[in-house]
Structure 1
């Protein structure tokens, strides 16, 4: 009962917050519908009394006519109320789902990036996304069912008590078996959903591969449709087998509960027959009692089913609440004073980082300095830690150990949101938003909506203005063919749009991860030639595998297996004849068709 009370309170708060006026209206409808049921029982008794007093040729007395019209009117009113209740509850349910889903999205976008390195987090995210859209509606329906069931039970029960006081307690006793089995069913359903979440994610991923535009070309090029479809079918068949076992267990419990309830109902009817035989209940009262018992049995079952739904939804919503608590924890973890507008120097001191679930360190004691206005390059082989270091500099990760300092102050003392506001970062796997060109650029700092002048300036600085203005609707063209009227861009054009997004942010520190990977050699050369001009004195950190691109950087840091092994200008590093020089010559030899060393 204590758990039920907590769940009812939680559910009421949820529904009340989503739409109090509609909720109150539904409560009124539920109460009226319950009173109509009680009224029908009373009118049935009047109807039967009038019928039983009729003699041959007596005609239709006024009492019988009124009872008939009253019964018809109440039945019509019950149908109308049921229709109103259905429409209202559907809208309220959607409103509740929206409110819950908003909270889930806020938590998902608020948690630290490290959570997205965990498969368990993705399992929970998918589970709560489904629960947020379906379970609140279940709560709404169940809560209203409880209100209606209680009201109808009181109304019809009062009529039944008036016929004979022993009938109501007997009938209510029939709900006990269902209470016991329903709670067990709810726990089975939650456990089944938790167990199935990883398999559902795999099916969803396979469906994504088979149906999305970007993957379609490779799926066809390698003829992967059949094997991927076979794997999807295999997973679905396993799910259906598990579902069949689960439903058999639920059916067994449901059968046991309903059989127990049926036994009690049979006993109640036998008691009624005995009361009729003893003359304690008249024939008219007996007829009304049969109607009342049938109605009350339905209301008691509605009440119990609604209670079961609350229990079941409560398990899922508790899971949702725990997920949303992650957002609160993340906000607390990333709280702090506002970061300064600018800096003179960023220092990375003995920074170490390990990804969640991994034992190997991605960064192992990294040290480097970035002075205001410098262009700094990070180079190294794949897996050397360049992108991880960029994420830490951007405030997306906190170091596992060591510190990143702005003018001597640890950035963990600042609000991470304010740190990220001072940084513009474009990764190699940047997002291609299926929105307008204007929005794709303005997403660099979108809090106040697009600023047309800034959009045009950022596009010009990145070299994207020419092809964007040539689109059918210019900057208002949707950059995707998945929506009507949309247009797609080439890889190099998309990269210029992404760079424009970084310029639009107008941050003191710009981090560009492989900013020219999709550009042709001429466009790449032009970008790097103009890099200092377009940066306008801002500090830049860029990552590149093309060593010809980093020659003009003020400082080049060479990373290897999570450590900085060399640093200096291009000339200094070549004179040192270390790892940088080796990699530079290897790459140059590939272009010049010459040996790496003379």
Structure 2
């Protein structure tokens, strides 16, 4: 009963699937869609032409006396047959190449929509394993499904047009064959829908394992992890883990493939039996002289073409059914875009002429109950340098991300001159320049590595050089083989890599490149030598040029000149004040400062 209702829903869903497929392909490339459809229709006409010409040739060749065969007419028909056959073959090549191009355009359109979602998604989204599983499933399966839809749709158009024409021909020549041929396609429809459900279930079940295996492949093949993997001699162990995951996936895939093969065998058997029955009936009609030899010959050709086209039609319907569940999954992912995106704001930077205030802010990461921050208060006035210090795991970087508008607080709020950051949306990020300790080393030219700090003016050479000079990066960037146009990666011809300290200066230049009222530097000197660190902080206010700054640091000597220092412990601000005030208070800051100072004695 349940299976019956499911089949009924499948049939009712067919017009929706077809309409959806047509819209998807037409939106991606209207002209390409029209050209591909035209090729399919021309191919259908050519197939009908082969049957008609074949019938006419058999009529002529049945003449008892060879002298009565009209040579001129025979030559015309033979020429027409050769021409139509050649055209039919060429149309097939045109169809496949046009579908190849159209499939690429459709896949590109799908990628653009996926990238719209990932580009707008809040940073918290990337803390969710559920989001990653869904993204992996979309990348592995749904992205390629539009190409499958494209192929299936045009096979359906071409096969459907030819099928209609062949059915008309068979209806004229031997109408009793039609029910037999159509009945052979019923198992194909039923099996295709069952296959779509099992294929989606397989993809959902294997997504976490595929993600882990792909990550291991990245570790074992990328340049960045290579040195540590070899330093710890970990390649063999990681390879064993990769191979074990691959064996697990292959075993699951083998079961799925065998399941699909059984379904295909049932479909092929039903189609073969239907064709055999049709040809048997046709032979009986010839033997009983119900139809002529010429009609039988044309009917055989029509039945053979019709059988192939019916297989094509049912196969394309199967592709559409199978793709439907993955496209539904893609649609669900794309629907996340509006829910995950932050408000766009006004398009201007958030105002910072009075005070940036953190008011009773708490935060817990998705899927956790223990808060990373609890009831934090903090103030940053224009031009001030404010520091966050504390032991590892105290919540410093989490608080910095909330102030930068990258995380939304679980409780409390952040205001810019009294305006709630939740309402300002992207205006907050426009007003902030953030460099984290784990900054990205873009495999771009040096100019773009700096320019990405201000993406709208990335190509401005003077601005990039000015920012590099302020960060102390101009000296080593200017002597690269192509200067600022050198790609900062040895993975590209002519590229060069930098030392960790040099990379950190490039990252600082990226922050200085942005015209932001607040600069957030998370461990900005972690890879600089003591002299470079001292030089940077000795003139930090000059480098900031009147901007406010939030410094996150483990080095207490780096922040002693800050206007105000906030000390975090287990997600709470336990004290704040100037360096001298905190030392005099003899609290946690004074204790940690003394412990760190002893290491230099």
Aligning the two structures, in what range does the TM-score lie when normalised by the shorter sequence? over 0.9
Quote the offset at 1:279 in angstroms.
2.3
Per-residue deviation, residues 98-139 of structure 1 (Å, max 9, x unmatched): 111011111111111111001121111122123354211111
- Is 1:93 aligned to 2:103, yes or no? yes
- Structure 2 match to 1:104: 114
**8 Å CA contact 2:567, 2:575 repeated in 1:** yes
The match for 2:193 is 183
Alignment of 1:556-575 (within 5 A): 556-575=565-584
* Alpha-carbon distance in structure 1 between the residues aligned to 2:492 and 2:426: 33
Distance 1:261 1:79 in 2: 25
CA deviation profile, 1:139-186 (whole Å, cap 9, x unmatched):
111111110011101111111111022222331221111111111111
Work out whether residues 104 and 132 of structure 1, in 8 Å CA contact, stay in contact via their aligned partners in 2: no
Tell whether 2:452 aligns with 1:458. Answer: no
Corresponding residue for 1:252?
262
CA contact (8 A) 2:519 2:549 kept: yes
8 Å CA contact 2:345–2:426 kept in 1: the answer is: no
Q: Is the 8 A contact 1:437 1:479 kept in 2?
A: yes
Aligned position for 2:80: 70
Which residue number in structure 2 is paired with residue 319 of structure 1?
A: 329
Query: Aligned-pair distance for 1:268?
Result: 2.1
Three-state SS of the structure 1 residue aligned to 2:318 is helix
Q: Does the CA-based 8 Å contact 1:336-1:412 persist in structure 2?
A: no
CA deviation after TM superposition for structure 1 residue 265, in Å: 2.7
User: Where do 1:403-482 residues align within 5 Å?
Assistant: 403-414=413-424, 416-482=425-491
CA distance in 2, matches of 1:53, 1:192: 61
Q: Per-residue displacement from partner, 1:183-229 (whole Å, max 9, x unpaired)?
A: 11111111111211111111111111111111111111121121111
Pairing of 1:32-47 with structure 2 (within 5 A): 32-47=42-57
Deviations 1:25-49, CA, capped at 9 Å, x for gaps? 1111110101111111111112222
Residue 507 (structure 1) aligned to one of 513, 516, 525 = 516
Contact 1:101–1:132, Cα closer than 8 Å, also in 2: no
Query: Within 1, Cα distance between the matches of 2:163 and 2:68?
Result: 37
Provide the C-alpha distance between the structure 1 equivalents of 2:394 and 2:13, rounded to a whole number of angstroms.
52
Distance 2:478 2:268 in 1: 70
Counterpart CA distance in 2 for 1:411 and 1:79 is 64
Aligned to 2:235: 225
1:203 aligns with 2:213: yes
Higher mean Cα deviation, 506-515 or 38-47?
38-47
Higher alpha-carbon deviation: 573-582 or 61-70: 61-70
Q: Which residue of 1 aligns with 2:302?
A: 292
Name 1:596's counterpart in structure 2: none
Matched residue, 2:364: 354
Asked if 2 retains the 8 angstrom alpha-carbon contact of 1:26 and 1:88, the reply is yes
Shift of 1:494: 0.5
Contact preservation (8 Å) 1:128, 1:320: yes
**SS state at 1:591 partner:** coil
Instruction: Note the C-alpha offset of 1:56.
Output: 5.8
The match for 1:146 is 156
Name the counterpart of 1:537.
Answer: 546
Deviations 1:71-104 (A, max 9, x none): 2211111111111111111011101111110111
Deviating more after overlay: 49-58 vs 182-191:
49-58
d(CA) in 1 for partners of 2:413, 2:111 = 36
Which residue, out of 5, 9, 29, partners 2:19? 9
The two structures have a TM-score, normalised by structure 2, of: 0.96
Partner residue, 2:557 = 548
Per the TM alignment, residue 231 of structure 1 is displaced from its structure 2 partner at its CA by 1.3
Q: Which one is further off, 264-273 or 227-236? A: 264-273
Shift >4 Å, 4+ stretches: 56-60, 335-339
How far the C-alpha of 1:57 sits from its partner, in A, is 6.6
2:59 paired residue among 49, 68, 73: 49
The answer (yes or no) to whether the contact 1:35–1:152 under 8 Å persists in 2 is: yes
Partner of 1:170: 180
1:471 deviation in Å? 1.1
- 1:329 corresponds to 2:339: yes
Instruction: Quote the RMSD (CA, aligned, Å).
Output: 1.5
Confirm or deny that 1:591 pairs with 2:600.
yes
SS in 2 for 1:447: helix
Matched, 1:241 2:251: yes
CA contact (8 A) 1:480 1:486 kept: yes
TM-score of the pair, normalised by structure 1: 0.96
Deviates more, 1:433-442 or 1:44-53: 44-53
Separation in 2, partners of 1:59, 1:276: 24
SS of 2:388's equivalent in the other structure is strand
Alpha-carbon offset, residue 59 of structure 1: 7.1
2:167 alignment partner in structure 1: 157
How far does the alpha carbon of each residue in 1:483-513 deviate from its partner, in whole angstroms, 9 at most, with x for none?
Answer: 1101111111110110110011020011000
Residues 284-315 of structure 1 deviation map (CA, whole Å, 9 limit, x = unaligned): 11111111111101101101111111111221
Question: Aligned partners of 1:469, 1:65: CA distance in 2, in Å?
Answer: 78
Aligned to 2:525: 516
Aligned residues: 590
Give, in whole Å, the separation in 1 of the partners of 2:247 and 2:419: 57
Contact 2:26 / 2:33 at 8 angstroms: preserved in 1?
Answer: yes
Deviations 1:347-401 (A, max 9, x none): 1111010101111100011111111111000000000000000000000011000
Q: CA deviation at 1:580?
A: 0.4
Per the alignment, residue 19 of structure 1 pairs with 29
What is the CA–CA distance in structure 1 between the aligned matches of 2:118 and 2:315, rounded to whole Å? 32
Q: Which residue of 1 aligns with 2:318?
A: 308
1:568 deviates by 0.3
CA distance in 2, matches of 1:4, 1:491: 58
Write the mapping of 1:488-499 to structure 2, written as runs, cut at 5 A. Answer: 488-499=497-508
Alpha carbons 2:523, 2:552 under 8 Å: kept: yes
Contact 1:131 1:317 in 2 (8 A): no
